[in-house]
Structure formats: structure tokens, C-alpha cells
Structure 1
Amino acid sequence: MSNAADLDPADGARAYELDREHVFHSWSVQSALKPLVIAGGKGTTVWDYDGTEYLDFSSQLVNVNIGHGHPALVEAIQRQAGQLATVAPAHANLARGEAAKRILEKAGPSFRRVFFTNGGADAIENAIRMARLSTGRDKVLSTYRSYHGNTGAAIVSTGDWRRIPNEYARGHVHFFGPFLYRSEFWAETPEQESERALQHLERVIQAEGPASIAAILLETVPGTAGILVPPPGYLAGVRAIADRYGIKLILDEVMAGFGRTGEWFAFHAFDVVPDLITFAKGSNSGYVPVGGVVMSEEISDAFEDRMFPGGLTYSGHPLGAASIVASIDAMEREGIVANAKRIGEDVLGPGLAGLAEKHEVIGEVRGLGVFWALDLVADRATREPVGAGEIATLKSELTARGLLPFTADNRLHVVPPCVVTDDEAARGLQLIDEALSVLGG
């Protein structure tokens, strides 16, 4: 797919040299880094300066939903840059208004306005601010198995290890969400897990003082934590508990939204409507940094006659807005969300289940759409996770075979772009099969 004649390996060497000399990487020990240099991409494929191609089963950070180099997005960004490259958020702009309109149409009739941000983390920050201001309360409840971003309140809302060295924001309380495979509640069925997790949440609320709690913040389908599809009744149960105590429900769809689960928004597959939705990179496949908060009518109305004390220089940036418009229109026109749903049901789901039958190292397969995880274990009986060494080996084997993987903890996440074809999905499964055979052998 790459045109090797246009690639100069010297540019790749130069890119690597500049990176290691001058670029500081996130979540990394700098001296240990050996980053792969990417020169270009198209659809589900990226390539380096030597012309080596990789099937992108990471979607970079699980966000290139529409694929690399989609011509409609590229053209929309170029056209907008030529017309109006930037504008202050205080002014009205056609691209921004069209983007907000399309997002609201996809979210559903319960929602009124969109507040645009630079990305997912500051979408979380502003959703929390809206919940606190509209309720007059302070505390935010979120789960231990979660990731919400790396800014002040977002990282403290996060449940994993990245929160611990960054706990500077106030008013955050964590609880355990449902995860039957590694249940905190001694559950044996999805229904038990849901019921007991809801009981646990309500007891935390009661112990913390319901009148002190502004919001419950959840990833609709926790992503980096392991593609934890909520069991039957859980999200509806959280909604009922929130309503009982006057608490706002924020659903984080930064990773799960815009086709990733085979729905425009992941919550559409569950019996729940939140008060606030956060979105970001999936809305335009990360072509331009963008994010936002979708606000219910009630939350929006809370600021009709009072100032909202928040703003960003790049809120509703025209390049980001134009790319959202182009992305939503292309996804609708080309049936991309439906494709993600079908691929999950017909190809990835059955294929990964087949790999689990073949490879003892797979403890559980979880997911939907193009949003899947393999929970890899050293022992199926004890469910002991494999170690970092095995994951490093797996990652190396996959990359050597031409597949760009996404790994986290003891898991391989299978998260190709929503435009992945049957043949590409089958090829990815074959490469995973080969790499797991090395790991098992």
C-alpha cells in the first residue's frame, strides 16, 4: 500500500534520532524507549520509512475509527484551513455549529448543547465542573478499573496506578465496578455480579453521604482497563441509584463512542441515558485534537441565567469541528458503524472465541464491535495473569509479523479501525494465532 519510491530510509533514521534526542514520551522510562517510526498510513495499514507495512490493530490509541488517511476528512481539514484556520470561541462559526448539531442528532433527543474541548481529559474536567455547579455538591464517584485522562480531576477520577502519583484534586471517591471474570463480589453469574456491584455502589453512596455527591463517572465500556462490557441491568441500575439520590451520571465515551462498539454511542446498547457524555478522539479519528461534553437539557438550562466559569482558547476549533462533520457524514454514508457491529458479531467475536479454544493462555475473551480484549493467564484454573515478560514477547512477535498491537497489563486488546474488512480481520486473527503459539510454546 505504501509507495516505497516516496520513502527515504534516511528520513526514518533522522526521525528516530530527533525523537530520542528531543522528545519526552508519556508514561515511560525515557532511557528504555525504542519507538517505532511511522511514515504514513491508509485505511487499516501504516508503514515505516523502509516501506514495511503493519496492520494497525491498535487504532493508535483506540481512536482511528474511520481509518488512516480518509480522503473526506483530509479534504475537509484542508478546505477549512484555507477558509478560516482559527477563530475565538466567543464567535459563532458554521463548522462548529454543524459539528454540534450532528453530535446531538447521534446522541439522542435528551441532549441540548455541546461544549467543545481540546480532548478527552478536559472534557472530563468540564463535565465534572458542570455536575458540581448544577448540583451544588462536590464529590465524584468513579471506579477503580477506569481511565479518564491525565489532567487534575481526570487523573484522580482514574482508578488505575496512574492516579496514585498524581492525587492533587479534591473530592474523589472510588468503588468497584462489575467484572465477573475477576469478581470482587464472589459472583458466579452476570446477574449476580450486576446485583452485587449495584449494592456495593449504593452502600458507598450512603457511607459517603448522598447529599455530598455531585456525580457518578463511568466509562460506558471501560477500555484501557480491559474492555469490561457491563453485565445486564448494571448501567440502568446505576441510573436508578443516581436518580434516587439526586446525583448526575456522566458517561465517558472518549474511547467507546463513535462506532467503536458498533453503536454511535456505546450507551445506546444499554437501557440508560446519562446527564452528560464526554467524547473526543473517536469523533474524528484523532486527525485534529478535539473533544467535548454533550449536555442534557437540564444541565444546559442550569447555565441559561448564570455564567459557566470555564473556557478554552481552542473550544470548537474550526479544523476540529470540520473534521467531526466530515467524519460523521462519511461514517453514515459508508455504513462504517454498521460495519463495526457486523465485524464484531460475525468475524472478531467468533474468531477470538476459536483462539481461546486453541490457546490455554487465553483466560477470557471480552468485547463487542471492534472493541475486544484477550485476558491472558499463566493458569486458567487460578486465573493468574501472565507477566510483563510474556506480554513483551507477544508484542514483539506480533510486530515482527506485521501487526501493530495494543497491550495493557496482562491483556491483548483487539481494536482495529471500524473500517476493517473481513479479510483484514481474518488476517489479524491469523497473526495473533501465530504469535500466541510462540508464547504458548
Structure 2
Amino acid sequence: MSPTDTLPQNMHGMTSEEIVDLTRRLNYGTWRFQKSWNPVHIADAEDCYIIDGAGKRYLDFSSQLMCVNLGHKNPVVVESIAQQARELPYAMPGYATATRAELSKLLLEVLPEGINKFFFTTSGTEANEAAFKIARMYTGKSKIIARYRSYHGSTSGSIAATGDPRRWAMEPGGKGPGVVFGPEVNCYRCPMKHTYPQCGVACADYIEHMIRNESDVAAVLLEPIVGTNGVLVPPDEYFPKLRKICDENGVLMIADEVMTGWGRTGKWFAVEHWGVTPDILVTAKGITSAYVPLGLCATSEKIGDFFLDHYFAHGHTYEAHPMTLAPAVATIHEMQRLNLVDRAAELAPYVESKLRALKEKHRSIGEVRGKGLFWAVDLVKNRETKEPFNTYTDKVSGAPLLVDQIAGKMFADGVAIQAWVSHFVIAPPLIVTKEELDRGIDALDKHLSLADEKCV
């Protein structure tokens, strides 16, 4: 008997080995060299855990792609999908549906006040595309100012507005007309070589310099807390200052809350930490806890009023698809019932204390940063120089990354964590317990010796 003969059969009658083989041969693995892709077969998931084809459980310490905020297989959300399928599986966007009306009304309870006109999509990148078009139609201007160390999606416009190297393969044509890049806010590794607070938040001042010298700027696009590229938390002055700059120069502010929305940072939306309301808010991921693909482009009332007598030149077949909206209604109700936004805020000091203790123990940790249940552990060769173990060039060249090696060892120990270039993203489901937080952090602690040994 071969080892594969003992692998469990799933409902489709295939072994785990067959599932992995077919997936690898017939599908593209995203953001990677295909020859190195060897995906694990995930057969089930529950609460804060994913389960492979052999039945092994893994703590989902980054909520997959920072999106399963409610945890896996919440029965209320699952039933909402089934119920919507029985009642009305599809209606084209030109029709009104009860689910659409219910979700729209519910969004008014959780979105920042004044954001009250909605366009539904099936992904965050599509929601950003809608935001760009709306900003350009509303202002009559063309340019979008984005920032380096940002990610806004993979479709044509969104990848053009992405500052990280995932854009590089699409250039020069992929950069797209009307997108210019400014400095990110990164007080640990300031791209302008300044020191906070003596700098006076010069990175925001530079955005103002760009607006005044580029001309024709429709909007500034920002992740309130940069996501995959390092969980970069701005100083408290940054967003109020940038809001003032946008207002004084007639430029819209677009907040990309695809990753930071839905309680992840201890607020419904991250911009609330700084008392700022954007003109357009884009979100996805946690809106359905990723059970069904849904994105949202939400605008202010003044933008909505503009299109009362101006042509709204955007749409697609799956806009406001009932099957995507029903689980969003259920997700919001479950988050409210379980008080998960406050829970993320309450657990933040516990996570921070554990990670700061980890930094004291491991000289390979340069910085830990975050809010709520959204944290990064940044690895460095040398704390004084802040030199990382790997760079973006290593990532796109296919070179082995130290964080991937550590993540692989953690996975073998039953903890799944997202690693990117030279840092880890810690973002478990908002239902996580302190015991589960301890388990995940302990697994990272165990294998950071790999990095410590390489420090100089």
C-alpha cells in the first residue's frame, strides 16, 4: 500500500494528493514563480482554525489574507447564504431587492457619519476602480496621488495605483495615466530620512507639495494603516493634517479600508482613530468575513448629489448581487451581537505587551507596531541600521526569504501566519482567545532563533 492510499477521501472522491496535483498543474498560483508552488489542501475550517486534508488543524493567525474577521464557518452567516439562494439568487443591478435595501440601511449604522451613498462590487480592487472613476467624474480632474509601500488591487487601475513591486511587471504600460506616487508615512524607516516628531509630519507636507505642483489632482488615495506592506500606523497628526490639505486644495480623500475595516483595528473603520471622514471609503474582505466576495465603494452625500443630474458612467453585471449582500447583513449583525469591534480594542494591549516582550528577547525584531488585532513584527539584521534581511528585489526575483522559512516552520507546528518580505502580519479572527494568541506568539518565539543567528 502506498502512503497516498491512506489519505482521506473528500466529498468529491479525490485524495488530497490528487487535489493538490490538479490545482498545481491547472491553476495559476498568485504572486509567485509557478515551479515553486506546492499548495496545501485545505479541506475544512472552523472558528480560528483551518484544517488540511489529513485532518491537521492550524491556528489561522492572520485570518487567511487578513479577511476572515468573524472566524470560519459562523452558522448565522452560512445560513444567510443558503437562505438568499432559496429566496433570490440573482437580480440585475437595475432592480431593487430587499437584501440590498437592508444592507444599505445597516451600513449607515457602522460607516463614518456622512458616508451614505453606495456602489457594491465583488472585490476590493473593483471597489477601488469605482472610486477612481467616481473621483475623476466628480472633480473633472484626472490624477490620483498614491503612496509607495501601498497595495490597492490587481486590476488595471488599481495595480497602477499600487506602490509596491507587484506593479513592476505591468510597467511601463501598467502604470497608467494619471497616477503619481508620494512618500508613505513610515516613522520607523522614514523615506524622507526625517525623525518624528521633529519632522512636523513632513510626509503629509510633501503630498501638499505634489498637489500644488502636479495640478489636475482629483484625489489622494491612502490606506489609513498600510496593510500587507508593513502595518504602518501613522502618527496622530497625519490624517487631520492631510484632510485639511485636501480640503484647502479641492482634492478628494479616498480611504482604502479593504484590510483595515470591519473592526480589525479596534474601530469599525481605521479612519475613526483620527476623527477624519474621507470623501470616498473603499472596503471589502471583512464585510462578509470573506465568506462571499463583496466590495464596497461608499461616498459622501455631496458626491452622491452630484450624480443626480450628472451621468454615472460605471456598472457591472454583479453589482449588488443578492448572494454577496446577504452575508454582509449577517456579518454586521454577528459583529454587533458579539461586540467584536470593542473586543479587538480590548485585546490590543495584551497583544502589544506580548509582542514587545518578544522584541526584548529577540535581537532580530526591529519594531512591532499595530492597532487592535492588526500587528506587524518587523525583522532586521541590525537594529541600529534597521537593515532588513530581505528586500522587495529578493521577493520579485524569487530568492529565498527568511520570513518564509520561519513561517514554514510555524506552519509545521500548526500555526499559519502571513509573511511579507521581512515582516509578519499578525491579524487573527476577532473571536480569538488569549490562549490562542499565546499559542501563535509562542510559535513565532520558538522559531525566531533562525533570524537571531543571522543578525550582525
TM-score scaled by length of structure 2: 0.92
Could you tell me which residue of structure 2 aligns to residue 77 of structure 1?
A: 81
Could you say what the CA RMSD is over the residues aligned between the two structures, in angstroms?
1.5
CA distance in 2, matches of 1:152, 1:286: 23
CA distance in 1, matches of 2:176, 2:377: 33
Which one of 353, 369, 374 corresponds to residue 366 of structure 1?
A: 369
Bigger shift: residues 246-255 or 21-30: 21-30
- Counting aligned pairs with the same residue, the percent is 38
| Residue correspondences, number | 433
- Is the CA contact 1:107–1:265 (under 8 Å) kept in the aligned structure 2? yes
What letter matches 1:376 in structure 2? L
Cα deviation code 1:25-73 (max 9, x no counterpart): 2212111111111111001101111111100012111100000101111
Which one of 351, 354, 366 corresponds to residue 351 of structure 1?
A: 354
Which one of 126, 131, 149 corresponds to residue 130 of structure 2?
A: 126
Cα gap change, 1:142 to 1:193, in 2 (>3 Å): farther
- Is the CA contact 1:132–1:138 (under 8 Å) kept in the aligned structure 2? yes
Could you tell me which residue of structure 2 aligns to residue 180 of structure 1?
A: 187
Q: Is structure 2 residue 175 aligned with structure 1 residue 171?
A: no
Partner of 2:77, secondary structure, is: helix
CA distance in 2, matches of 1:334, 1:269: 21
Which one of 196, 211, 224 corresponds to residue 220 of structure 1?
A: 224
Cα deviation code 1:215-273 (max 9, x no counterpart): 00001111011001111210111110000110000000000000111111111111311
Cα gap change, 1:259 to 1:196, in 2 (>3 Å): same
- Is the CA contact 1:193–1:231 (under 8 Å) kept in the aligned structure 2? no
CA distance in 2, matches of 1:68, 1:6: 24
Could you tell me which residue of structure 2 aligns to residue 96 of structure 1?
A: 100
Q: Following TM superposition, where does structure 1 have runs of at least 4 consecutive aligned residues deviating by more than 6 angstroms?
A: none
Cα gap change, 1:438 to 1:177, in 2 (>3 Å): closer
* Aligned residue runs from structure 1 range 136-147, under 5 A: 136-147=140-151
Could you tell me which residue of structure 2 aligns to residue 150 of structure 1?
A: 154
How many Å apart are 1:294 and its aligned residue? 0.9
CA distance in 2, matches of 1:68, 1:194: 43
- Is the CA contact 2:253–2:278 (under 8 Å) kept in the aligned structure 1? yes
Q: Is structure 2 residue 54 aligned with structure 1 residue 50?
A: yes
Cα deviation code 1:381-411 (max 9, x no counterpart): 1111013432222111111111001011100
CA distance in 2, matches of 1:375, 1:168: 29
- Is the CA contact 1:183–1:193 (under 8 Å) kept in the aligned structure 2? no
CA distance in 2, matches of 1:351, 1:193: 30
CA distance in 2, matches of 1:313, 1:7: 39
Q: Is structure 2 residue 397 aligned with structure 1 residue 394?
A: no
CA distance in 1, matches of 2:198, 2:220: 21
CA distance in 2, matches of 1:351, 1:86: 47
- Is the CA contact 1:104–1:113 (under 8 Å) kept in the aligned structure 2? no
TM-score scaled by length of structure 1: 0.95
Q: Which residues of structure 2 form unaligned runs of 5+? A: 1-5, 391-399
Q: Is structure 2 residue 288 aligned with structure 1 residue 281?
A: no
Which one of 381, 384, 388 corresponds to residue 381 of structure 1?
A: 384
What letter matches 1:354 in structure 2? A
- Is the CA contact 1:364–1:374 (under 8 Å) kept in the aligned structure 2? yes
What letter matches 1:432 in structure 2? L
Could you tell me which residue of structure 1 aligns to residue 213 of structure 2?
A: 207
What letter matches 1:340 in structure 2? A
Cα gap change, 1:61 to 1:193, in 2 (>3 Å): farther
Q: Is structure 2 residue 71 aligned with structure 1 residue 64?
A: no
Could you tell me which residue of structure 2 aligns to residue 115 of structure 1?
A: 119
- Is the CA contact 1:114–1:292 (under 8 Å) kept in the aligned structure 2? yes
How many Å apart are 1:147 and its aligned residue? 0.2
CA distance in 1, matches of 2:200, 2:227: 18
Could you tell me which residue of structure 1 aligns to residue 3 of structure 2?
A: none
Partner of 2:232, secondary structure, is: coil
CA distance in 2, matches of 1:232, 1:349: 18
CA distance in 2, matches of 1:373, 1:7: 36
CA distance in 2, matches of 1:401, 1:438: 15
Partner of 1:385, secondary structure, is: coil
Bigger shift: residues 162-171 or 404-413: 162-171
* Aligned residue runs from structure 1 range 215-364, under 5 A: 215-345=219-349, 347-364=350-367
- Is the CA contact 2:415–2:443 (under 8 Å) kept in the aligned structure 1? yes
- Is the CA contact 1:194–1:232 (under 8 Å) kept in the aligned structure 2? no
Q: Is structure 2 residue 430 aligned with structure 1 residue 412?
A: no
Which one of 17, 23, 26 corresponds to residue 21 of structure 2?
A: 17
Cα gap change, 1:105 to 1:87, in 2 (>3 Å): same
CA distance in 2, matches of 1:76, 1:7: 30
CA distance in 1, matches of 2:429, 2:217: 37
CA distance in 2, matches of 1:128, 1:389: 34
Q: Is structure 2 residue 35 aligned with structure 1 residue 31?
A: yes
Could you tell me which residue of structure 2 aligns to residue 197 of structure 1?
A: 203
Q: Which residues of structure 1 form unaligned runs of 5+? A: none
- Is the CA contact 1:194–1:234 (under 8 Å) kept in the aligned structure 2? no
CA distance in 1, matches of 2:452, 2:26: 39
